[in-house]
Amino acid sequence: MKEQLAFSDIPFNDIVRFGQATMLDDTLFSISWILGRFCNYKCSYCWPYARNDTPDHQELETYLKTIDEIKRQARQNGFNKFHWSFSGGEPTAYKHLLELVKHVDDGPGTPYQSIHMTTNLSPSRRWWKNYAEITSMLQRRSITASFHDEFAKEIEFGDKILQLTEDDVFVTINQVMVPSKFYELYERLCRFAARGINVTLKPQSDPTASFVVDGYSEDMIKLMRDGFPQHAKNQEVMQVKLIDKDNKVWYMDQAERFNAFGFNKFKDWMCNSGYQGLVIRENEVKRSYSCRDEILGTLDGGFKLFDSPKICITDSCVSSADSKLPKCKSI
């Protein structure tokens, strides 16, 4: 990192191999799980397919068996460390969520497990205290906190984050930077950052989640690319490792920034999706969010992981859950 002054210094056109460092260099398996589309908020700007008003979760027993089956198949492929990421809708609206995340911990037989959640932070501070206690045996806990000003209160939202941080849960506020409201949103993020809270500036995608919308100035793009590097206990967090054609190593704090650089098109690269990671979207089990709806199976009918990396088949990755999976450029 000594020679890398900013994320803009990374020669993205020359990168031939990359991925989340814990997956690129270790036997970590990643699970990104949309539990359902039910959400307790009804934001005016939310895409219709991203939420619904009716609880749509499956039985807890189905979820518990799925956790066990993922571990069984992943271990057959040589992966015995796990990262669990839960989202929705709003995952905390699932009434058995605490029971579900408790089941993730299966003792010393699994040497490393981490858990992540994307949430609107709507539960009470007491609920989050319970969550921190239940997940305390896991090696790493993190949260992407989505702030929605139509429902959330800024000070209370920040207080919950600071409580979670005190309980050793790493939290980042993820803000979609709508071009027409960019500087209004940026001012709020500056206030959060002044309280010692991590923030992420994410470009807005079109309704089909295929490309970044127009309307950003050069100054806006620069802020999204290099602004607010992630920190934990006064140390920079560099989760993504990139290797260029000269075998030089570069680092980035998180794959969420890829879209701001246009570094999200990996068609014909070798990709570990479906082999070292999977996506669960309600009942479907897929190799990733973006992979043209190629499914590996279903929760109620069974699923089968790939036994080796496969060629990327999609035009672009819009989700960091897809982007962070290890990839190697075909030469």
Is it the case that residue 1 has pLDDT exceeding 50?
A: no
Q: 232 versus 219: which is more confidently predicted?
A: 219
Is it the case that residue 95 has pLDDT exceeding 70?
A: yes
User: Are the CB atoms for 309 and 275 separated by under 8 Å?
Assistant: yes
- pLDDT score of 232: 75
pLDDT digits (tens, 9 = 90+) for 129-144: 999 999 999 999 999 9
Q: Is 154 helix (H, G, I), strand (E, B) or coil?
A: helix
Map tokens 């043209």 to a residue.
Answer: 292
Q: Using CA atoms, how far apart are residues 210 and 122, in angstroms rounded to an integer?
A: 29
Range 7-328: architecture per CATH: Alpha-Beta Barrel (3.20)
The model's confidence at residue 209, banded by pLDDT at 50, 70 and 90, is low
Q: Using CA atoms, how far apart are residues 295 and 284, in angstroms rounded to an integer?
A: 7
Cβ atoms < 10 Å from Cβ of 110: 16
pTM: 0.88
101 burial level (CB within 10 Å; 0-12, 13-18, 19+): buried
Letter for the amino acid at 217?
A: S
Cα angle 283-287-288, degrees, rounded to a multiple of 5: 90
Cα angle 269-118-230, degrees, rounded to a multiple of 5: 75
User: Are the CB atoms for 74 and 305 separated by under 8 Å?
Assistant: yes
pLDDT digits (tens, 9 = 90+) for 102-125: 999 988 889 999 999 999 999 999
- pLDDT score of 235: 62
Is it the case that residue 3 has pLDDT exceeding 60?
A: no
Q: 201 versus 302: which is more confidently predicted?
A: 302
Delimit the domains of the chain by residue range.
7-328
Is it the case that residue 127 has pLDDT exceeding 80?
A: yes
Q: Using CA atoms, how far apart are residues 284 and 235, in angstroms rounded to an integer?
A: 38
Q: Using CA atoms, how far apart are residues 16 and 266, in angstroms rounded to an integer?
A: 10
270 burial level (CB within 10 Å; 0-12, 13-18, 19+): middle
Q: Using CA atoms, how far apart are residues 247 and 267, in angstroms rounded to an integer?
A: 22
